[in-house]
Amino acid sequence: MKTSKEHADVLIVGAGPTGLTLACDLARRGIAYRIIDQDEQPSQHSKALAIHARTLECFEQLGLTDELCRRGRKIHALNLYADGRQIARLDFQHLNTPYPFVLVLPQRETEGLLIERLTSLGGTVERPIRLSAIERHPENITAIVHDMRSEQREDPVSASWLVGCDGAHSSVRTCLTLPFEGEQYVESFLLGDLTIEGDLPSDEGHIFLSPSGVLFAIPLPNPHRYRVVIDATQEVPHQVDSKLVVQDFQASWTHRVGNGPGSTSKLSQLVWHSRFRISRRLVSTYRRGRVFLAGDAAHIHSPAGGQGMNTGIQDAFNLGWKLALVNQGLSPESLLDSYEVERRPIAASILAGTHWGTKMMTVGHPLMRWGRNHLASLLNQFPTIQDRIVKAVAELDTRYPGSDIIIDQISHHNWGFSRRKNLFSNRESRPCAGERAPNVILSSKTPHEYHCLFDVFQHQHHTLLFFQGLNRNAPSIQEFNALHSGFDTRFSHLVHSVFVTINSIQPHISVAYIRDSNGVVHRRYGADQCCVYVIRPDGYVGYTSQPTTRRSLEKYFSHLFR
């Protein structure tokens, strides 16, 4: 353990996926951090499996996505069965993202790759170090910790900020005496990793609904290996012998699957199993002065949809760039207030959604089961509704409409279509401020070697996209320079500016640009007229403006930066 006299800009408590993501993000931004964990070794259990598209987009900025995809299994669809037939199917392959799938990878391997990345950035996890108390001061915090391998007295650790990423039984949350309101479900579940031989597609997930209960079967990276989860409140007895456990899983499989798809599957070779209960809880506040909570320390919910780990990782990605700017004196401390404003409603929404999903899947009354199955079959007939559900599961529809660092100055009357979409419309509208900036495949490379729009965002700063506009009176590169020069000296080290043009650019022009000769980027962003988008470091639209004025742009950046 480092000496307690060393001061850290940020002390991270908990080295799960959330804490490790935050540590990697801070490390690449040059922030002095320390990350501690009370466990002597990383967990060896597979735990969470699903890595969704939005999380993979975040991991791309950390340089992790290629290796994650190489090790994991890509799940392209999720099938729902009842009464021996398929009643619904969610297809991820049409998502507008470089990662149109759910990546299945055991959490221990995700953590292992994050630790490798942290090591390459010069960092390390300090183990086993336990937090026992927090002293909060106006200018910093003092954490009281001790090395659990020795009988040494507890040592103080000084830091400017502390982030609790230490899970559902968070010591940080306990030290702050924050309520963790919610409830535990009455149902218990049996989980096991087994070999399955049968006729089910190995690149798709499967959920079986039956009067006997619900069963999940998710393919793992190893061939023929599946994660199987069943609700086992009363039916399945506790077993120790692995052969008896496999027999119980096979019996439950037969009862729940019936005579439809998967009925010929044979289960064997149990790797590990566990019985567990689930809860739904949300902390009362994400921030108390210089102390923050993220991940399971702030919210826990049903694993339906595999949202838990992903939500925590995105908590970290939202907080990291804000902590870095404030700690470096580049932004006011008020920027940190936006963390709770943006992320807590997301957790509340996911809590509500997963709670509803869990109740629907475990419903016992025959009439309610019939209604659920009939509704699922009905909704399956509307591709646009499926698309909405799939985007929600992939967390691509996350938006931050209530944040005061989100400014949208585009009038809907200036656009060729309404911003509003009805439930049955599949028409994509331009991204509003607060929404994820969508990716676009570029028609041709620029001198800057941009293959897609996400390549433009692969840095640690805000990105200003200045759209020339599709109309005939579109402004020239000289007008872009005039707009840009107004804030270049004050904000040039914080903002990466890119001119999106439909025309050719003269070779001597030195600004970064995208030649959008076929207008695909303009149309996706609704840029019929000249307009500006500012994309935040976490990939969300922070500011839009049409018409664009230097004064309004300066006002936005002056609000965001010192």
- The answer to whether the CB of 289 falls within 8 A of the CB of 136 is yes
Mean pLDDT of 234-244: 66
Render pLDDT for 296-313 as a digit per residue (tens, 0 to 9): 999 998 888 789 999 999
Q: What is the DSSP string of 173-187?
A: HHHTT--EEEEEEEE
CA distances from 464 to 498, 536, 553 (A): 6, 9, 10
Which residues have C-beta within 8 Å of that of residue 495, sequence separation ≥ 6?
461, 462, 463, 464, 487, 534, 557
**59 or 276, which is more confident:** 59
Residues 6+ apart with CB under 8 A from 330: 494, 561, 562
Could you report the per-residue pLDDT of 367-418, keeping only the tens digit for each?
888 898 888 888 888 888 888 999 999 999 999 988 999 998 875 444 333 3
Domains and CATH numbers, the chain: 8-49+106-179+284-353 (3.50.50.60), 182-279 (3.30.9.10), 407-560 (3.40.30.10)
The structure tokens 């899947």 sit at 361
pTM (two decimals):
0.92
Q: Are 104 and 220 in contact (CB under 8 A)?
A: yes
Mean pLDDT score of the chain, rounded to an integer? 88
Look at 178-182, 265-269, 399-403, 482-486 and tell me which has the smallest mean pLDDT.
Answer: 482-486
Exposure class string for 397-428: b at 16+ Cβ within 10 A, else e = ebbbeebebbbbbbeeeebeeeeeeeeeeeee
- For position 426, what pLDDT does the model report? 47
pLDDT tens across 516-532, in order? 888 999 999 999 888 89
Which tokens is 50 given? 């699903």
Instruction: Dump the DSSP string for 502-536.
Output: SS---TT--SEEEE-TT-HHHHHTT-SS-EEEEE-
Instruction: Provide the CA 218 distance to its chain's centre, in angstroms.
Output: 20
Q: Output the pLDDT for position 197.
A: 95
pLDDT at 320: 98
Q: Determine the pLDDT at residue 186.
A: 80
Which is more confident, 45 or 422?
A: 45
**What percent of the chain has pLDDT above 70?**
88
Please report which confidence band the pLDDT of residue 421 belongs to, taking 50, 70 and 90 as the band edges: very low
pLDDT for position 474: 60
Which position has the token pair 């902590």?
323
Q: What is the model's pLDDT at position 528?
A: 87
Task: Average the pLDDT over each of 52-66, 104-118, 142-156 and give the range with the smallest value.
Answer: 142-156
